[in-house]
Structure 1
């Protein structure tokens, strides 16, 4: 089968990622970008869980009733592909497979994969930044050349990455950052301050996840700026899905996963008036 559109969702075997895949299939028929069949790659680290998630979606009552999937005469098809964003060879395998299968490119990537660990110490910070910041950016750079000129990249960040938790100096460094290196230097300073047990004196919160997501928002802005300066037209945005009831929030969230999926899905397949390098929440532009 040939597809008019191809999208990739990372970390999609459960929670917000799984809901994003479901909502893409449900909303695509009414999307202004609908120009024929859509293939969505549901990616996850664990093959068994990823394939089980695809099977669950194929039996999903909402999708069946909406006749959203190809099996019911709908526009969308969902396929599993393994991806561990913390493993460079895993990223390369997916990129190579996408290149081979879709020579004319991919339409959107939603980078949802991430971790939230309990506790706070130098090791937790290193692991959290490693996945949520460094590995996500590695994936962004690997995916970007695959995206069509009309493509979209959406990085799922968090309101915990807002800048009201930092000293004026650190906040101003974030806001003044123009390149990924600028943002990475802030991440390095945070990790060093934690190692020394002095992150608060250095102007940071004692929160690995929050700082990793602030970094992701800043780096997404920088990536979008570079894309524009180089003449590219891919729209690159970050967003907060809200406080969602998932394993990551220990099921304390107030939004359902489907509600949390709305903003990432909007940024991937709705008309966003060419906005790029922005931070979004509740389907609106939000001040970082």
Structure 2
């Protein structure tokens, strides 16, 4: 079956990712981008959790009341597909599937998958956190970009934790002056080296792997957007913060519900953002980095 629009959400079996899928289905009918039938891929590493999340959405009272899904007479359909963004083979398998199933391309990807590790910031915590939140997300971003239709959209879910006020002036200026992904990756490497030596604070970084990884993601997303635009691409590539959301990642301390946290990523996927690319958003507005 062919669909008018196709979107992908990573890390979508719970929390913000699951809420993003729900809100996409709820908001699409009134979106200026509504052009007919809509397929949303809910992706997750674990098959049982992903399929369980899909079942929950198919029985979701809010979606049923709105008649958002095709099974209830709506125009949206949700499918589960396995995807582990930290596994390059998993990314390749999924993208090959998308090429075969949607030869005309897909409309957007919301890269929501990420981790926040507990405990003291050490070499392993930094390596694992940067591996998922920075390197793997960028790997997925590049691969998905090749599948986007003209004017397609890539949204990387970052965090206000990655804003630059917590870095030294020197490091902050390096972030702001970064023009390429390589520039940002050099900063990530310098952070890893500083942590390895136990000198991250002296080097101008906070002792916070999650915060640095999200600063890197914001910077690299910006650099990727600039590079794509210079090469003639019409894709809109942005990062965003969902806010402080009450999820497992915040240990239940968040002040927003997952559905509230989903609003900005969904806005960037479905609304008229006036051609914005390379920007960082929160509360449906562009933010200073």
TM-score, normalized by length of structure 2? 0.99
Partner of 1:206: 207
Q: Tell me by how many angstroms 1:124 deviates.
A: 0.2
Three-state SS of the structure 1 residue aligned to 2:7 is: strand
Equivalent residue runs for 1:245-264 within 5 Å = 245-264=246-265
Segments of 4+ moved more than 2 angstroms: none
**CA distance in structure 2 between the aligned counterparts of 1:149 and 1:202, rounded to whole angstroms:** 42
**CA distance in structure 1 between the aligned counterparts of 2:235 and 2:250, rounded to whole angstroms:** 31
Partner of 2:56: 56
**CA distance in structure 1 between the aligned counterparts of 2:177 and 2:239, rounded to whole angstroms:** 17
Three-state SS of the structure 1 residue aligned to 2:146 is: helix
**CA distance in structure 1 between the aligned counterparts of 2:23 and 2:5, rounded to whole angstroms:** 15
Equivalent residue runs for 1:176-255 within 5 Å = 176-255=177-256
RMSD: 0.4
Residue 118 (1) aligns with residue 118 (2): yes
Deviations 1:3-35 (A, max 9, x none): 000000000000000000000000000000000
Q: Tell me by how many angstroms 1:52 deviates.
A: 0.5
**CA distance in structure 1 between the aligned counterparts of 2:75 and 2:20, rounded to whole angstroms:** 16
Three-state SS of the structure 2 residue aligned to 1:181 is: helix
Q: Tell me by how many angstroms 1:264 deviates.
A: 0.1
Residue 109 (1) aligns with residue 109 (2): yes
Q: Tell me by how many angstroms 1:2 deviates.
A: 1.8
Q: Tell me by how many angstroms 1:208 deviates.
A: 0.3
Deviations 1:200-251 (A, max 9, x none): 0000000000000000000000000011000000000000000000000001
Q: Tell me by how many angstroms 1:150 deviates.
A: 1.5
**CA distance in structure 1 between the aligned counterparts of 2:166 and 2:194, rounded to whole angstroms:** 16
Partner of 1:87: 87
Residue 152 (1) aligns with residue 148 (2): no
**CA distance in structure 1 between the aligned counterparts of 2:159 and 2:84, rounded to whole angstroms:** 21
TM-score, normalized by length of structure 1? 1.00
Partner of 2:98: 98
**CA distance in structure 2 between the aligned counterparts of 1:150 and 1:201, rounded to whole angstroms:** 43
Residue 283 (1) aligns with residue 281 (2): no
**CA distance in structure 2 between the aligned counterparts of 1:108 and 1:80, rounded to whole angstroms:** 16
**CA distance in structure 1 between the aligned counterparts of 2:29 and 2:67, rounded to whole angstroms:** 10
Q: Tell me by how many angstroms 1:64 deviates.
A: 0.1
Equivalent residue runs for 1:130-145 within 5 Å = 130-145=131-146
**CA distance in structure 2 between the aligned counterparts of 1:226 and 1:269, rounded to whole angstroms:** 23
Gaps of 5+ in 1: none
Q: Tell me by how many angstroms 1:118 deviates.
A: 0.4
Q: Tell me by how many angstroms 1:80 deviates.
A: 0.3
Partner of 2:40: 40
Three-state SS of the structure 2 residue aligned to 1:268 is: helix
**CA distance in structure 1 between the aligned counterparts of 2:274 and 2:88, rounded to whole angstroms:** 34
